[in-house]
Structure 1
């Protein structure tokens, strides 16, 4: 009987200690969750970049493409509400708001109602925000993150809304939409009044104590084949330096704009060089992600351009060259191909599979909220 009582007593003590430990562990876990750093989001758009364009980096580059570093890969369907074949405006609006809309719409629904964007929502949560583009900063892809207009060509109104949006760091072209405007407004003055460091000459070192605006060309920057240099990679690094100096979480969208333009022009060399430049920038971003594990990188495209395929190469006599391939264009317009989605970092597993482009917004928000 004494042994039975002893066993019962030990069992009670064991259970009590176990319960206390579980309670303590729960408290520790709750503390860990509370102390977790908010998730940085880097979203890269290779405008016009389908699977064949990505493939070109493996056949025409001198090094192993940075695309190969991704293990979480999916596909997205790009159609808009009005057209099976979308444009960059509707595509970017789906990314930024989680809702599909009509072709040419910027930040508005199919009923032209303004939709809150991920950039605006994260800014309200205390995030820093950034936009980088090779085109005018008022062009469709970057505009969809801060503007709300019925048509993508409303550049002057989009520029005005950019000033009001107070994006912390932006770099691209588009000077002409900020000065010498039809409405007579001088938006350079407006940016300075909003405490921006404004540089219209070069990608200078950011001022960590102010917002930073780089408007470097009248319209878009030159293509890679016209001597652009490493602007995309350098601007991305400058953005990271700025955000890190302020020690706050950030959202940044980076657009490799001219992959699309190479497709429209049926210019294989331009397309290849733009893909390689985009891939080089991905390398810079991946280096940042590796050093800062509280970061999620997603790389995708708004649509494919050119109906591109990579096939046999032939010499002047029509004989196949066994160790070479060449780019073929089926069209000079966008296509309705599914486009790739690459993800790296916390929450990357959410981006595997096949889904609508609008789902990317929801997956990003899920990753942020689960962190």
Structure 2
């Protein structure tokens, strides 16, 4: 009897943790109208021409989680008909289906982008037989490139996890956190601190990271004057707040990562995620979606400002899937207004946009599979597995 009670308590505690990390999927806060009163300017692209056939030293992959064309055009409308994302000169579409479902989740979608293989929904860096697959971040690391992750969610959440961890379930956050110790990632920025230090197994991964010479910070501000790698910036116990409550974390995290990775000798791979566009889609909350996408667009602008001018950096902007079945009923460019409708509180199977600039950007046009993005990055980096 005692063992049964212990098991039930443990199961209940685990359920609370999982629910706390995934409960945004169940919230419904229908808001169809939004007016943007704070338009931002777009960053000017460098005039320097990149020759066709050039290959990058660095790749920055930026993922707007849940960002379909309607979400993108809603942000474009409310920002007065301009975005950094839509200014990128090459564009196409990506199909997003997973191995076991017409409609992917973020774990399988992220794994397709990070490994070049489609897998089952819920899988983190493993194939359909639950075997680990090398990710682009791990492969870049093996080839001597510096690596980084930035996310507005917990860094252990599905999309960032799929670039660094290997697990049969996206819900195994503590196991995913432990996988960070199996790599030599140079910088990671996001929430999820509790999965590193307040664990069921009693391990303190923050101390283990420090033993690997990582400096641990609680905010970008705290890390502002530190410029040595490796470092971890864990900005929240679990997920970060919404925008603008969390401040300019995504923009500042992107800038911090680029500045510090760019000093490394062999180039770098960086993945940046705007996580909460998806969460607004689950809520059918137009204001939430657009604010998050505008914040993500500012991070894209920061990447353009800091990296596009060197002629060595490929910037790719895409999504893992669309969320909400969002459609635009009406809008006003001048007043920054949008009115949207929704068909679901979940993901959909429609194609998502892909944009690119820099050496190799011409490869990211037309209709491609999400797995093609991985293979194109591998080719452009000159890697084989």
Query: What TM-score, normalized by structure 2, do the two folds share?
Result: 0.81
> What is the CA–CA distance in structure 1 between the aligned matches of 2:277 and 2:62, rounded to whole Å?
13
> What is the CA–CA distance in structure 1 between the aligned matches of 2:219 and 2:313, rounded to whole Å?
31
Paired residue for 1:33?
none
Q: Does 1:350 align with 2:363?
A: yes
Question: Is the CA contact (8 Å cut-off) linking 1:289 and 1:345 kept in structure 2?
Answer: no
> What is the CA–CA distance in structure 1 between the aligned matches of 2:306 and 2:331, rounded to whole Å?
38
Question: Is the CA contact (8 Å cut-off) linking 1:206 and 1:238 kept in structure 2?
Answer: no
> What is the CA–CA distance in structure 2 between the aligned matches of 1:246 and 1:368, rounded to whole Å?
16
Say if 1:207 and 1:323 are closer, same or farther in 2 by CA, change over 3 A: closer
Query: What TM-score, normalized by structure 1, do the two folds share?
Result: 0.84
> What is the CA–CA distance in structure 2 between the aligned matches of 1:312 and 1:62, rounded to whole Å?
14
Q: Show CA shifts across 1:3-38 (max 9, x none).
A: xxxxxxxxxxxxxxxxxxxxxxxxxxxxxxxxx996
Say if 1:98 and 1:208 are closer, same or farther in 2 by CA, change over 3 A: same
Larger radius of gyration: 1
Paired residue for 2:379?
366
Question: Is the CA contact (8 Å cut-off) linking 1:206 and 1:242 kept in structure 2?
Answer: no
Gaps of 5+ in 1: 1-35, 315-321
Say if 1:244 and 1:355 are closer, same or farther in 2 by CA, change over 3 A: closer
Paired residue for 1:137?
155
Please report how far the alpha carbon of residue 207 of structure 1 lies from its aligned counterpart in structure 2 after TM superposition. 3.4
Say if 1:244 and 1:159 are closer, same or farther in 2 by CA, change over 3 A: same
Number of residue pairs matched by the alignment? 328
Say if 1:360 and 1:313 are closer, same or farther in 2 by CA, change over 3 A: closer
Q: Does 1:235 align with 2:253?
A: yes
Q: Show CA shifts across 1:180-202 (max 9, x none).
A: 21000011100100100101245
Please report how far the alpha carbon of residue 323 of structure 1 lies from its aligned counterpart in structure 2 after TM superposition. 9.2
The one of the two structures with greater contact order (alpha-carbon pairs below 8 A, sep at least 6) is: 2
Gaps of 5+ in 2: 1-53
Paired residue for 1:319?
none
Q: 2:241 aligns with which of 216, 222, 229?
A: 222
Trace 1:172-251 onto structure 2 (pairs within 5 A): 172-203=190-221, 204-205=223-224, 207-225=226-244, 227-251=245-269
Q: Between Structure 1 and Structure 2, which shows a larger proportion of helix residues?
A: 1
Residue 248 of structure 1: SS of its match in structure 2? coil
Please report how far the alpha carbon of residue 64 of structure 1 lies from its aligned counterpart in structure 2 after TM superposition. 2.2
Q: 2:188 aligns with which of 170, 182, 206?
A: 170
Say if 1:47 and 1:163 are closer, same or farther in 2 by CA, change over 3 A: same
Cα RMSD after superposing both structures: 2.0
Say if 1:350 and 1:238 are closer, same or farther in 2 by CA, change over 3 A: same
Please report how far the alpha carbon of residue 85 of structure 1 lies from its aligned counterpart in structure 2 after TM superposition. 0.4
Please report how far the alpha carbon of residue 365 of structure 1 lies from its aligned counterpart in structure 2 after TM superposition. 1.1
Q: 2:329 aligns with which of 275, 289, 311?
A: 311
Paired residue for 1:32?
none
